[in-house]
Every structure is written in structure tokens, then in C-alpha cells.
Amino acid sequence: MEPFTKLTGRVVPLPARDVDTDQIIPARFLKVTDKLGLGKCLFHDWRYDAEGRPRPDFILNQPRAAGAPILLAGDNFGCGSSREHAPWALASFGFRAIISTSFADIFRGNCLKNRLLPVIVDAATHAALMERALADPATEVGIDLASRTLALPGGATVTFPIDSFSKQCLLAGVDQLGYILKHADKIAAYEHGR
């Protein structure tokens, strides 16, 4: 996995709270046997109408979304189903980080395994950034993972929480399975002890 160290880029605002993974990628798109190309299914039923035409007022269909690597989402983002197809679709579309006030547990874990950084900010920071991003398509932020900082428009920075193990894995580009396999002897010892 490629390391994740810093990211600077434009923000796509999606103000809705409690966005569930059925919206991120509807179940009928989960019949794939690989992980590729799911970006075209991202938020499918919000992006396209029943005839398959792009809905012009949905933010991902607007020019500002092209090439913008950071999604600014409402509270409890990624709730519902555990489908890892959700971060696969987000990453395939081009997102590298998501900012919210909170993430659902399984979704957050899935993101971290796919080099998609969940950034948690407090309500006041979130509200100010959302207002700015909705008004200005050029709104940009900077993320520095090593120092756990988010640089906001206007110059302020805030720190965001991330457990140090996940941070180290992302910075080093280390896959969790590799870490577990290094300790195979301890797994064998546990199995013998039962």
C-alpha cells in the first residue's frame, strides 16, 4: 500500500447527516467479484435519475467535484451496512480523505484499510468549513497525517484524532495483515493453550 503522509486539495461538501452505505453504493452494485471501477456506482441513486441521466443539482455531478480529493460529510457518515465496497467506491471516484464530526465504526475501519483517511473535527469547525465550502467551490484544506493537523481556509489549524497504530500503518504504507502475520507464533501459542 502506498504511504499516506500529506494531502492538500479542494473540498466537496455533502451536508446530509447519517449518510448510510446503501446510499454510498446501493446493494445491486455489490455483485462484483473484484474491487475495481466502483467509482461509477458511487452515490448512484443520488447522482442519476431513474433513466440514468445525471441529476444536475447533485454535487458530484458539478464541475467542482472533478479532481477534488476531500469529501466533507455530515455526522455519522457511513452508517449501516459493513460493505467495504463503500470505501472502494469513494476511493475509485477519487476521494483520499473524508472530514466529518463522526463516522460509523465499521466504515471507519474499512476506510483506514483502503488508504482513505477519516478526519474527525468538532461541530464548530465542521459548521464553519461546511458554510465556506458550500459558498466557494475553490475551498481547500491541507492534511498532515504525521502531526495530525488539518489546515483550514484562513490559516487556522486544528488537530484531529487518530489512533497511533492506524497512523503509523498509513504513514509507512503497511498492510495490517502483514503486521498480524509477523505474530503467527503467538497465534499458535494461543491455540495450543486452549
Partner 1 sequence: MAAIRPRTMFEKIWESHVVFQEPDCPALLYIDLHLIHEVTSPQAFQGLREKGLKVRQPSKTVATVDHIVPTTDRSLPITDPQAAELIAQLQTNCRENGIELHGLESRHQGIVHVIGPELGATQPGMTVVCGDSHTATHGAFGALAFGVGTSEVEHVLATQCLLQNRPRTMEIRVEGTLPPGVTAKDVILAVIGRIGVGGGTGHAIEYTGSAFRAMSMEERMTVCNMSIEGGARAGMIAPDDATFNFLCGRPRVPQGEAWDAAVAAWRCLPGDEGAPYDRSIAFDAAQLEPMITYGTNPGMAIPITAPVPDPARMNDAVQQSALRKALGYMAIEPGKPLLGKPIDVVFIGSCTNSRIIDLRAAAKVLRGKKVSPKVRVLVVPGSQPIKRQAEAEGLADVFRQAGCEWREAGCSMCIAMNGDMLASGQYSVSTSNRNFEGRQGPGGRTLLASPLTAAACALTGVVTDVRTLL
Q: Which of 2, 34, 51, 57 binds partner 1 (CB under 8 A)?
A: 34
28 binds partner 1 per the rule CB under 8 A: yes
- CB closer to partner 1 out of 113 and 140: 113
Residue matched to cell numbers 455526522: 75
- CB closer to partner 1 out of 90 and 104: 104
Instruction: Report how far residue 91's alpha carbon sits from residue 80's, in angstroms, rounded to the nearest whole number.
Output: 19
Tell me the one-letter amino acid at 57.
Answer: D
43 binds partner 1 per the rule CB under 8 A: no
**Which residues, including other chains, have CB under 8 Å from residue 108's CB and lie 6 or more apart?**
78, 118
**Which residues, including other chains, have CB under 8 Å from residue 59's CB and lie 6 or more apart?**
12, 13, 14, 65
Look up residue 160 and give its DSSP letter: -
Question: Can you read off the three cell numbers belonging to residue 23?
Answer: 446510499
**Where would I find the beta strands (DSSP E) of 28-132?**
70-73, 97-100, 117-120
22 binds partner 1 per the rule CB under 8 A: yes
102 binds partner 1 per the rule CB under 8 A: yes
Min. distance of Cβ 109 from partner 1 in angstroms?
A: 7
Give the binding site for partner 1 (CB under 8 A).
15-18, 20, 22-23, 26-28, 30-35, 45, 50, 74-76, 79-84, 102, 104-106, 109-110, 113-114, 163-165, 176-177, 179-181, 183-184, 186-187, 190-191
